[in-house]
Amino acid sequence: MRLNGHGFDAVPVVCLDDECVPGGDLGAIARLLCLDYEPPVTLTPAQLFRKWMLVLDAAKRYLQQAPFAGLSHKSPDRDRTFRELGWHIVLIPRAFVTAYDANEFPNSLFAEKDVPVELTGSDIATEMAESQRVVQTWWRDAGSQDPLDRVLETYWGSHTLLESFEREVWHTAQHTRQVMMFLRQLEVEPDRPLTAEDLTGLPLPEGVWD
């Protein structure tokens, strides 16, 4: 209830006394705590788009490798199965494009409840391909010509479209790193694993499950 009173509907959130800021906004946290902070340089929209396509291609490959039984395994960070994680990745690009059109980005766009347990990894990869097509269409018709400086009310505060774009690219990349980890726990080596060079420029946490 306290977080709702500050306008937040999702964690993480950092609070000091009666002031709260999104836990994923390092600049806001630094200001709250009166710390010096130099934010990293954001990639250009074209660079971010290329990174997103590369990461989604990788996620599709990995889900196609996933053994059906392994999709029911739970992640160590929360009560989420491998299948649900894959479906979450499906939702991220669609959520961003929906937010772009609606001019708001609520956390509800990531609702992943009741994911059918009969979905195979190939089924999820097919849906990822459709999500990729949604983003490609957005980029062709609008995104590539947009300065992305419009401010949205998002699930982690007020941010420009460029900040939101960057966030959902690294959001996808972080979960794709987790998909690679899931496969390795199932003794399956990911096909063409993402490398540090592939992810250069994205503000990813050091830990795979952070």
Which residue segments constitute the domains of the chain, with CATH numbers given? 2-32 (no CATH), 45-185 (1.20.120.450)
Model pLDDT for residues 9-58, shown as the tens digit of each residue:
556 677 877 777 766 566 677 676 777 666 668 899 999 999 999 999 99
Model pLDDT for residues 89-127, shown as the tens digit of each residue:
999 999 999 999 999 999 889 877 789 999 999 999 999
HSE of 206, CA atoms in CB hemisphere, 13 A: 0
Which DSSP category does 20 fall into? E
What's residue 12's pLDDT?
Answer: 64
Model pLDDT for residues 142-181, shown as the tens digit of each residue:
999 999 999 999 988 889 999 999 999 999 999 999 999 9
- 22, two tokens: 């999104």
